[in-house]
Structure 1
């Protein structure tokens, strides 16, 4: 590092609460996240994915470079979010892991750190639950990133002496805290409301003598990035950093914010970060590093003492009273109706505490019988994170302890029940204004699932939980209390019933290539259909529980018998997300076209155009039929793996497109916009999976030329992401001709090709 350069660390806390329906493992449709299915998808597009390929533009809006911001940003990702990303956005997931590897190679320490597993407020948890959360966090991190985490992000930066001891015992070196959490430091003495210095690390000591390091972030910088719109102007942010350097002469400038500010809370904030990275690299005054690297070169020498917080329960960055926001009506809330209160927080936590106590007693007793001791039961629980994160199969994890299938299934249910117990304490459940909000409801759903899994050992678990939840009152009379909310949530379809309904409809409606064997947690083992009767065997892979089902399907009615229990369902009970997926499968089946159909449509359109000139008033019914047929043909050609036939169908496609361009109505042209976006997204996915070949380059170039000529402007984002590694030489191309084609395609995709040094890319080949 330049001896005159100041170390700069920007930390992003990237996190979403677990949103999956615990009965199926799938996230239900969240209407408030339209046009996406759910908020995970929405924020991924705005932020998580955007930061893996953040654009740096020239003055004409062309892409100069793309940056994986995670290579420069210190960061943590919630394990439950990473689990979702790994399944739903594998390229984004891999880019995050690769960024850590690259920073490790550059700095000797990776940018990523672990996070308390399911984001509970650790000071409010029992000590053994704090241990479980920390060990799950570290184990999950080790399996994903291939190394031990040096630091750990504390949910809401909440900390107390017990938490310090657990972190120290677990080998955690450092945490990141708000400067307002410090009461006193060795040199400054009692701070009396002043922020702790941010330019050096401090030592913290727990009540049992455990010692860790704390970095207190720069609060002015954090507030400016989070609320002062610093990310609207990278030049302004860069100048602000230089002013801090000049004025305060600190060897370290660092701050921490919610990671979602880089693109979601602040639109295009990822691009401001990418521009800042460029400016720091060019200027030489500031050098991006991370906490592990800085601490290795500058170990903490001075101690700090933290505030006790209200009732001596600890402190956090988002409650001025300590951690009261997560267990009582302390006055902290997110605005809104002034007549509301948050007294519901106390009975909600008390309800979960009572459930947790009983679940722990049962777990230790029942798991201890199989594993041989209480200590063995706790050790297995504390090593469960890779299974909870779907990184290791349950059977593989438990094989060293037992090979008996019944014992494996029993242990699986006990361990999953513990997972949902922990999920019920996710901090978001208390953060906001009302018990009837989406976050408390999700926590209640997880508590209900934990109770259900443990009911074989205590049949009163759920009824006791409901009785306790009744004491938590919602602010609006019609929302009732925690019990009435829970009773509504209990009406969700059992997971095995929902999965069965999906398998039957999927097998009935979808093309053979679209028939699925997985639905959330459930795997289809056997499927038979005879004379309108269905026989299925499915396995819940969470607990390895098998379900035997018989079913019949009538006119909008479904009769199921699952493990001897009957269910009568109607079409109205199909969940929204399942309905949407099934409609897509029907659409795909309808839109499958063959050569003869394409020829007939081509002929019909030619006749229509001639007739429209002489008798337009009589052609509306014909138009309706033709436009539906035309759109179906375009979908059939491009959305369903037939792009390889582009050369054969191109001319006919263009005639169909011309028909729709001339005669199509606004809503039909909008539909074409969406289809063309999806076409290019699919090609981008194919390039990222299989590589860049001449066929894809030729198709995209010709396709874009034709649709742009007709005033369509498809979304290029994913194609730019897929192409960029090839045009800068990070990914290899076999032939010089392919490199030249990729270079030409880059122009079509709005790259500033004058900034691409093609000859050097060829040399790297």
Structure 2
């Protein structure tokens, strides 16, 4: 029958979305990518979806979708971002699960706790929300109910397992040292990670009468993969796996060997780690050493566990003290700062618990007259988080108040979601308070407070700050949690004025400035911003109008009066929203207390300013592209007459900016001509353009050129008039002109369309 092997990948990134906009703002530490979701995806998650297998000559012989062959979970907050921003990766994950479902009768994918909170530290209501929302998200993205669930940091206790069982989850995966004892006819036999038989499944009998199946992964081998560079050599990796499999099989030929690692191990932590994994998967697919691949659900279906295990409670894989890492100075750290303490963890959790209790109390009292069953509605809200198109159906089922009050209901539900996001485990995992992760958590907490105030509550903000004051950074200049909150959260929080001004900038960049009297809306995941210009004074260049800020699914929103005026006479007349740097916006709320807000560039957080600058630069690139492309066309016509005496190139800064457009124009104009003279001219063009690009193109120009090339081939591969021979010649031309061009994305397109349909093109792209 052979030995069973299961490799599990944990794919998760903490919630990073701005609480007001719902997009991930630029993170400087993730450069050259915009933020860490993008960077990790490009370095790990995407390569795993298109893992190369090479022959001895370095030619591509296979492109493996690793998600077809490994057990895996995807964090809901990460999956939400992938579907929106990296859909090709999300589709490969979904296809991998569907393929395994057909092959084994059980899918590779399992669910994950929604916000990656530590469930043993959560209230019963929050446990249920995190599990129910995770299941709704999984069902939406994978089209089936999950059988298993990955627990954040493998943190577990009996109440957590009871909630999982209530919601239909049948198994979890844990670390071997979380097992305390094995139940036999003679009683409990203590075990540890060295004596536990990890080659079989176990069952936990719960006080309610329900049961939960448990599989323990191979701790030692998983650690070696994550921390000891085992991915440097695929054959060495395979050898270690076979060794572990043989040990598991001793006395049990049907044993399952399970490895569990973080997804970023393959590529981000260890470059080309996905290729080592692909090598191992192919060995198992070939049944080398009589080893074959399975997933956890299929194994449990074939081998229902009978041996009962008792767990350490509460326990986790990354804290030897149970779950203290997420609430106290237990000594568990990343090890990067010897001598530092983590006493800041307790006041951070205490402050967030205060926030959550206030949120829960306000939700229960305010929602009671507005919803049929507020507690159950909150649990079902996960269906809307997964699929916003279900909002109307959800409202019809749960909201009982007048339609005018439905906005309050949506705010209350959003308040609860923001409050839960604040408890993502990463806020406590690292060595100090002054990091992005605690900053994100405090931002979500503050947004929950705002929504509480907007729905008639009184947020305990001052008490919250007093509790944070006890959280002291290890770096004395940084100060305490109160200072951190006031400096990094309160000063960077959006207001109605900054939101409206953000809408102004985006509409301008998208060339959708509102005509006088006509509302125009720009949508972000968390907010819709509608602007109407009512009048424009040409003499003072002042714009006045109304604005509406709507949370997701709201109908009415917050109505504002705004007044836009330039701070400099240099701003061009007649151009609404012409210059962010010289803009001042005054906003007055037309309802309630009619509060006033103002906004200029200085009122935005550095991350939001970076985002707005990115929008402006994107718009400028789009605006300039036709002119630069036209210039490239003229230059292209003159290059054949460019003599050798003109080396070296003069005005290199001009050539550098033009080089990507030259490549694009050569692509568009590189048509085969029967005239030998024309062919010779093209060859001369290519040689001279290649000289320009090699000597002058900066990394930025190189990336822009790569994007142009990808966009060009994405279009041409879908064009019914494209021929294999012509596209192959196009690739050869780009290789000559742009020798460092990254063909990874184009290779993926050709692989998915079928290399047999494009044999000449595939050969040029490096396929065997």
Q: TM-score, normalised by structure 1?
A: 0.87
Structure 2 unaligned blocks of 5 or more: 514-519, 569-580, 590-595
CA–CA distance in 2 between the matches of 1:452 and 1:235?
A: 55
Matched, 1:297 2:326: no
Residue 9 of structure 1, CA deviation? 0.8
Further displaced range: 255-264 or 565-574: 565-574
Q: How does 1:244-263 map to 2 (within 5 A)?
A: 244-249=244-249, 250=252, 251=254, 252-263=256-267
Structure 1 unaligned blocks of 5 or more: 309-313, 730-738, 753-765
Matched, 1:719 2:732: no
Matched, 1:306 2:311: yes
Residue 114 of structure 1, CA deviation? 0.5
Instruction: Quote the residue 2:129 is aligned against.
Output: 132
CA–CA distance in 1 between the matches of 2:654 and 2:336?
A: 51
Indicate how the Cα distance of structure 1 residues 476 and 221 shifts in structure 2: closer, same or farther if over 3 A, else same.
same
Indicate how the Cα distance of structure 1 residues 288 and 683 shifts in structure 2: closer, same or farther if over 3 A, else same.
farther
Residue 286 of structure 2: SS of its match in structure 1?
Answer: helix
CA–CA distance in 2 between the matches of 1:160 and 1:347?
A: 23
Matched, 1:265 2:299: no
Matched, 1:465 2:496: no
Residue 136 of structure 1: SS of its match in structure 2?
Answer: helix
Out of 675, 684, 703, which is 2:730 matched to? 703
Instruction: Quote the residue 1:442 is aligned against.
Output: 440
Alpha-carbon RMSD across the aligned residues, in angstroms, is: 3.1
CA contact (8 A) 1:661 1:669 kept: no
Indicate how the Cα distance of structure 1 residues 656 and 363 shifts in structure 2: closer, same or farther if over 3 A, else same.
farther
Instruction: Quote the residue 1:758 is aligned against.
Output: none
CA contact (8 A) 1:673 1:712 kept: no
CA–CA distance in 1 between the matches of 2:587 and 2:390?
A: 25
* CA-to-aligned-CA distance 1:567-623 (integer Å, 9 cap, x gap): 14137946112202311211221231399755654566678x46x838x89x95xx3
Indicate how the Cα distance of structure 1 residues 293 and 492 shifts in structure 2: closer, same or farther if over 3 A, else same.
same
Matched, 1:679 2:708: yes
Residue 263 of structure 1, CA deviation? 2.2
CA–CA distance in 2 between the matches of 1:175 and 1:63?
A: 37
Instruction: Quote the residue 1:557 is aligned against.
Output: 582
Residue 275 of structure 1: SS of its match in structure 2?
Answer: helix
Question: When the two structures are aligned, how many residues end up with a matched partner?
Answer: 718
CA–CA distance in 1 between the matches of 2:87 and 2:342?
A: 39
Residue 11 of structure 1: SS of its match in structure 2?
Answer: strand
Instruction: Quote the residue 1:420 is aligned against.
Output: 418
Indicate how the Cα distance of structure 1 residues 485 and 698 shifts in structure 2: closer, same or farther if over 3 A, else same.
farther
Matched, 1:745 2:761: yes
Indicate how the Cα distance of structure 1 residues 245 and 692 shifts in structure 2: closer, same or farther if over 3 A, else same.
farther
Instruction: Quote the residue 1:318 is aligned against.
Output: 318
Instruction: Quote the residue 1:763 is aligned against.
Output: none
CA–CA distance in 1 between the matches of 2:682 and 2:413?
A: 55
CA contact (8 A) 1:13 1:257 kept: yes
CA contact (8 A) 1:17 1:426 kept: yes
Residue 481 of structure 1, CA deviation? 1.2
CA–CA distance in 1 between the matches of 2:527 and 2:672?
A: 41
Matched, 1:32 2:29: yes
CA–CA distance in 1 between the matches of 2:154 and 2:722?
A: 51
CA–CA distance in 1 between the matches of 2:55 and 2:420?
A: 48
Out of 575, 592, 600, which is 2:609 matched to? 575
CA contact (8 A) 1:235 1:276 kept: yes
Indicate how the Cα distance of structure 1 residues 198 and 629 shifts in structure 2: closer, same or farther if over 3 A, else same.
closer
Residue 625 of structure 1, CA deviation? 7.9
Indicate how the Cα distance of structure 1 residues 472 and 596 shifts in structure 2: closer, same or farther if over 3 A, else same.
closer
Indicate how the Cα distance of structure 1 residues 477 and 667 shifts in structure 2: closer, same or farther if over 3 A, else same.
farther
Q: TM-score, normalised by structure 2?
A: 0.86
Out of 155, 160, 168, which is 2:152 matched to? 155
Instruction: Quote the residue 1:735 is aligned against.
Output: none
* CA-to-aligned-CA distance 1:543-570 (integer Å, 9 cap, x gap): 5224444423444321223344331413
CA–CA distance in 2 between the matches of 1:629 and 1:239?
A: 50
* CA-to-aligned-CA distance 1:641-663 (integer Å, 9 cap, x gap): xx767649999998776555445
CA contact (8 A) 1:511 1:589 kept: no
Out of 59, 62, 70, which is 2:59 matched to? 62
Residue 597 of structure 2: SS of its match in structure 1?
Answer: strand
